[in-house]
Every structure is written in structure tokens, then in C-alpha cells.
Amino acid sequence: MELKRLHSHLERLYHYGETAYVDELEPFVRKGLLYVREKKAVITNNWIAFVKRFPNQTDFLHTLFCFDEDYQQYLLKTSLLTVLKMREAEDIDGIVDFVHKMPKFAGEIVKILDELKHGERYETKALEQHVKEVEPLFRERNHLIFNGAPYYQRIIYYLAHIQQYQQEAVEQHEPLGTKIDEQWAKGRKIAANLQLLPLKDEPLAVLAPHEPNISLKNPLFKHIFTHPWNLFIFLCCVVREQTEAQGMTTIRFHAVNDEVDVILMSSKNQEYRYGTINDFVLEFCKVSNYQLFPNEFARLETIFHHLHDRGFLTIVDEEYRIPSHIEDELYNTSLFISLMAGSKQLRQRIEQWIDELRDRG
């Protein structure tokens, strides 16, 4: 397989958490970064923990390409060659820095140095010749990662991160299922990028935007079912309306400029600001053991804006509310089965979380 095609698979995994399994992904399965289920490669808890160490997609994917052991050896020898030239120039700090950043490669480094040592000197010509001979084998990979020949600082960056990888036991989760409660089961891996385009096919085990496989009388509700975080925010608003119907409004979502503040009614019947909608949802995700990737989301208030623009929410006295005609559709059409009955457990958990926060207030 061409590296560009492999890169495409890894990029899909980065955003959506799943891709069609191909043999070239097997090394990442052995490393515990992926597992295979029903002809799909699925990211693991190890992948999610590792990806959070990187500031962007490019650095992460390029580091994955450096997991290839033959390529690691090539990069290690290339960087060691630079270090030995530093030594000739009496750059002691450079050597110390190299050794400090390569603890897990220390055995390999010592072995190579022993082969090169002649008395008090290191003969670098043989190493230089070896690197030059094997370079054509990795030319395509070098071009992809370094846009040319590898250079010292970036090699160190990639190898340092590889050493930080910790392989834990792989946790596999049940397929998504058809009900919202199954899809939002505790521990579920969920794509956190709010800008993702929906997949045409339903994912296997990772919750990500996709075209809904249900018949909708009102096509407008497709926007709710397509994106997981649209659905979650909307259900939070459903819970708000239900608590009011039960006699006490325990939570409000206040529009403050472009932000959304979460206002709670404490168990002492005093309203207080809990924080932003991001604070509220992230804490719920933590208590639910949801595994968000590639990073924690930001700007969930944009979903309120989107749902408002689509007519799912309105603003009354600076508070986001569900309009009566939308509520009518929820309870008096076929939506009740798929949206309301199907999310009963999730809504109960959101209510329980709100009650826990109220007791703290």
C-alpha cells in the first residue's frame, strides 16, 4: 500500500475512530493502538491516551509512522550521526541532551557506539555509509514526514514521543446498537470534533457523526440524529423542560452574549451559576467514563446557536427553551419511540448528574 493511502486510513481513525481494516494497520494492532472487529480497525484506549500528548493531527500521525521498527533504527542512527558530529565540535550539551531524551533506546545507542569506537575516538564513516545505503528504502516515508531528509530536532521530537507511549490492556466495547441509550453507554468512545462531516455508513463501535438509519416524518430532525453532540445538547434541554413540568426547574441554559451559562437550583432552592456548558458536559463525560478524542471538545455553545437557527430552540428571557411545537412532535409523533423512549436511561443519568451538582451548590 502507498504511504499516502495508509495516511488516509490513519487520518480517518484520528477523526472518526474507525476505518476499514487493511493489513498495513496490523503493526498498530500489535502495539495496542487498534483492535479489529467485523473487518474494521477501531481505536483503543491506548490510542486516545497517546493522541492527547500531541498539539495537532500532523505531529500525531507522523509519530505513528515512526513506530515502524526498521524506520526507528534508521532515524536513531541518523540522529546519532549528528550527535557524534556535535562531539567532534565539542558540543557536550548536545550529547547530554540526546542521551537524556533517549532512555528507552539507551541499549541500542550503546551497542552502536561500541561498534564504532576505536580507542578514544568514534569512527563515523561506517555509520555514515550505512545511513546513506539504507536511505533509499525510506525515501518516501522521509518525504511524507520531513518533506525531505530527516533533521535532528524533529527526529528527537518523534522518538521522544514514541518512548512516552504506554501500552495498557485493550478495552473493547459493544457495538453501537440502535437505541440512543446503547450508543451512549458508559465508557463509549466519542468523536469530539464538532466540525466533522457525517459518515454515510453507521459506525460500528465509536460514536461519530453519521447519516441516521431511521425513518423521520419530519426531516428537520435529521440534524438532531446526525451529530452526537447535537443530540446530547438537545436532550439536556429536554431534561430542563421535564424538570419544570415536574414542578421545579433544576437547570437553565442562559444565553450570555455568545456563551451559554449553566444555572442550577441548589437543594436549598437558591439559583447559582455552575459554569459554562463546556464545564457541565465535560464533567458529565468524566463521570460517565466517556473517551473523547482526539481531544476534549470546545465551544459547545455553538450547538445551541445551531439548534436555535434550525428552530429546535428559542430564547425566552435570555434562556434557551424548546418551543411548544417541537415538544408536540416529541410526544405526539413516532419520534417518541426513537428519541424519547430510546434515550430514557441517558436522560435519567443527566438528571442524576444535575441532582448531584445541586447537592454541592
Domain-wise residue ranges, the chain: 3-53, 69-163, 180-360
Say what the pLDDT of residue 114 is: 80
- Residues 279-304 have a mean pLDDT of 94
Which three cell numbers, joined as nine digits, stand for 228?
452526537
Asked if pLDDT for residue 149 goes beyond 80, the answer is yes
Measure Cα distances from 234 to 145, 158, 231, 238, 320 in Å: 42, 41, 5, 6, 10
Asked if pLDDT for residue 332 goes beyond 80, the answer is yes
Residue 217's pLDDT band, with cuts at 50, 70 and 90, is confident
Between 294 and 82, residue with greater pLDDT: 294
Asked if pLDDT for residue 331 goes beyond 60, the answer is yes
Asked if pLDDT for residue 98 goes beyond 90, the answer is no
Q: Supply φ then ψ for residue 249, to 5 degrees.
A: -80, 105
Asked if pLDDT for residue 150 goes beyond 60, the answer is yes
Encode pLDDT of 168-189 as tens digits: 999 888 999 999 999 999 999 9
Asked if pLDDT for residue 124 goes beyond 90, the answer is no
Share of the chain above pLDDT 70, in %: 97
pTM: 0.92
